[in-house]
Amino acid sequence: METTKGGFSEAGLRRVRDVLARHVDSGRIPGLVALIGRGDETHVEALGTMRHDGGAPMRRDTIFRMASTSKPVAVAAAMILLDECRIRLDDPVDTWLPELADRQVLKRVDGPLDETVPARRPITVRDVLTSTFGLGMDLTSLGTPIMNAVFEQGLTPNLPVPMPEPDDWIRRLGTLPLMHQPGERWQYHISNDLLGVLVARVSGRSYEAFLRERLFEPLGMKDTGFHVPADRIHRLPPLYAPDPATGEFHVWDEAEGGRHSAPPAFQSGGGGLNSTADDYHAYFRMLLNRGTHGTERILSRPAVELMTTNRLTPEQQAARHKLATDNVHISFGQGQHGGWGFGMAVRTYRGDYAPVGQFGWDGGSGTSTYADPVNGLTGILLTQTGTSVPAPAHLFHDFWTTLYQALED
């Protein structure tokens, strides 16, 4: 009989390593750190190098730009405030974010910005948590006046200019009409950044200070934050955005002197965190433990259940499903989950090897982070290769495909 290790077969773990090594050996993924955890067993692979042309080897404590995998972690701050009754799901956000009072909504998503109708109701905390408050990064609406305005105002990351500080950011957001009525439609990303502003206003602290005190320090997430201090910057690789046509490695962000080398003006819950495989494992394991870490409770069990189960109505879900299935070329097949909780995807149908109930998300910087309560499983895959090319997404798929075959029970 095959030997098992903590619910993984030895042969299965070898196959996971072989598949990861194949991607690194292909020359398209310079390096990676992969962690799989089940119960008290943790298995880590660190393969390849920090730079595409060699350099220091990847290590278990290498720090990565988490990009959109920031979303499932950063949302926990709002859950702490919900647990403490400092915000309520159906409170209008106007109380703390007066810039978003009295919204106007476009008559047509692709119409002029001044052809609007009044919002039927205020934006609520629930709308922001479920990414349905009315504005988002809509890849099906690129080139429309509203999406052009979102980019022109500097409201999204990855533009040549950094995002402005939070008060200015929300003031700019408040000058735009909504694309959809509050609560009507799921839309990506902007709500996650808005949540950080809300947490800071409610708590009276910076978003990062609140996260550090209430989440990162209790969980021992010592390498997680919105920038990498100088004494650790050597552990951050450059981020590459390979040329989609040629595959040539272009440096999108250097470590020293780059976007993550100093505290940013805007602490982005949608995409700004840096972290390590072990830090993220601590967070997702806390969620699998229904909110506890050792003897300490970080989140209530109902808060974890709310975050990690589908919160979208069938109508809201239709838009998200359309994005995943009709724009498969943009995401290279990512996003086939069905549902969305708070800050993360939730599988509502069996679209691949992962079961219904798995939750987490992927990042455009080449990161993939999920937990699976059915199997008590956490998987974290971190690279420095951006998803301007399919290689990181293909790596994600192969990681999860082999990881699920390694389960023995």
Query: What φ, ψ does residue 275 adopt, rounded to 5°?
Result: -165, -175
In this predicted structure, the answer to whether residue 166 has a pLDDT above a threshold of 60 is yes
Contact 198, 93 (CB under 8 A): yes
366 Rama sector, left if φ>0, alpha if ψ -120 to 50, beta otherwise: left
| The pLDDT of residue 157 | 86
In this predicted structure, the answer to whether residue 138 has a pLDDT above a threshold of 70 is yes
Contact 89, 124 (CB under 8 A): yes
Average pLDDT over every residue of 369-390: 96
In single-letter form, the type of residue at position 271 comes to G
183 Rama sector, left if φ>0, alpha if ψ -120 to 50, beta otherwise: left
Which of 190, 72, 184, 191 lies closest to 128 in space, CA to CA? 191
215 secondary structure, DSSP code = I
At 161, the pLDDT band (50, 70, 90 cuts) reads confident
In this predicted structure, the answer to whether residue 3 has a pLDDT above a threshold of 90 is no
Number of other residues whose CB lies within 10 A of the CB of residue 350: 11
In this predicted structure, the answer to whether residue 334 has a pLDDT above a threshold of 70 is no
At 315, the pLDDT band (50, 70, 90 cuts) reads confident
At residue 40, the 3 state secondary structure works out as coil
Residue 274, Cα to own-chain centre: how many angstroms?
A: 11
Q: What share of the chain is helix, strand, coil (3-state, %, to 5)?
A: 35, 20, 45
Q: Which two tokens stand for residue 116?
A: 């609007």
| The pLDDT of residue 351 | 84
What string of DSSP letters covers 103-144?
-EEESSTTS-TT-EEE-SS--BHHHHHTT-SS--B-TTSTTS
User: Which of 151-160, 187-196, 218-227, 396-405 is least confident?
Assistant: 151-160
Q: Which two tokens stand for residue 348?
A: 């509502």
Number of other residues whose CB lies within 10 A of the CB of residue 336: 16
What string of DSSP letters covers 160-179?
SSPPPPHHHHHHHHTTSPBS
| The pLDDT of residue 330 | 54
30-67 pLDDT, tens digit per residue, is 999 999 999 989 999 999 999 999 889 999 999 999 99
DSSP H stretches of helix in 153-293: 166-173, 190-203, 207-211, 217-219, 277-288
70-95 pLDDT, tens digit per residue, is 999 999 999 999 999 999 999 999 99
CA distance linking residue 363 with residue 67, whole number of Å: 5
The percent of residues in the chain predicted with pLDDT above 90, rounded, is 87
229-284 pLDDT, tens digit per residue, is 999 999 999 999 999 999 999 999 999 999 999 999 999 999 999 999 999 999 99
At 293, the pLDDT band (50, 70, 90 cuts) reads very high
At 409, the pLDDT band (50, 70, 90 cuts) reads confident
Average pLDDT, the chain: 94
Average pLDDT over every residue of 171-180: 98
| The pLDDT of residue 249 | 96
| The pLDDT of residue 54 | 87
In this predicted structure, the answer to whether residue 1 has a pLDDT above a threshold of 60 is no
Torsion of Cα atoms, 168 then 170 then 172 then 177, to 10°: -170
Which of 143, 85, 90 lies closest to 303 in space, CA to CA? 85
- Residue 368: its H or E element: strand 367-372
In this predicted structure, the answer to whether residue 4 has a pLDDT above a threshold of 60 is no
| The pLDDT of residue 2 | 47
| The pLDDT of residue 329 | 56
In this predicted structure, the answer to whether residue 186 has a pLDDT above a threshold of 50 is yes
Average pLDDT over every residue of 119-139: 95
At 333, the pLDDT band (50, 70, 90 cuts) reads low
